[in-house]
Each structure stands twice: as structure tokens, then as C-alpha cells.
Amino acid sequence: MFRMNAPARSTGAVIIDAVLSVGKPQTIAFLYEQSDFGNSTTRPAKEYATKKGLKIVGDEAYCLGLARLPIDPSTFKGADRPPLHGQLRGDAISVMRQGGSWA
């Protein structure tokens, strides 16, 4: 058994391109775990988002292992529900638990 995964520098671009292929968002928010993986995937994703013309309206890193996000995603400024770019296993679960209409 093996797993193939895109390199960290490409992960965000793949997700952003997928979002842009089905809609035309103007903004994006980044919510990621403060870890080597979270940082190494989010940094190039932010650069790519800017290159694609997206305005970054949220950039929040949280401590490794938290069961609850320290920020409510609805507090991101500047747009109606920007796409969220989360990078680790717990991100999606935490956003669905806390995000209300973001889920």
C-alpha cells in the first residue's frame, strides 16, 4: 500500500484552481494548524491566491492539537463567506462544528 500526495508547494494551488473552476470568488481566508506542514502548504497557497487575483481576508494559524478553533470563521472581514483554505485533518471538522453557515 502507498499514498501519493502533491508536494506542499502545490497543494494550495490545486485547491484554489478547483474552487476557481466552479465559481468566481474575489476573496479567500486561510485557517491552518501552526505546524511544519500547515505553514509549508499555506505559504505558497497565499502567494498563489494573490497571483490569481484573490484578496486574502483572513490568515489565522492555530496551535497544534486544539479541539476547538480559537477563531470563529464568520469574523473574517471583507466578504460574504470567502472560500476557506484549511490544511490538516482537524480543520474541516472544526470548521463544520463552529462555522455555522460556513459548513
Strand-pair partners of 62: 33
For 84, phi then psi, to 5°, come to -100, 135
Question: DSSP character for 16?
Answer: H
Rounded Cα distance, 40 and 37, in Å = 5
What is this structure's pTM? 0.70
Domain borders along the chain are: 8-102
Instruction: Say which residue the cell 494573490 belongs to.
Output: 50
Strand-pair partners of 82: none
**Is the per-residue pLDDT at 16 higher than 50?**
yes
Question: DSSP character for 76?
Answer: -
Rounded Cα distance, 26 and 93, in Å = 25
Q: What pLDDT, on the 0 to 100 scale, is given for residue 44?
A: 94
Q: Mean pLDDT over residues 14-28, rounded?
A: 89
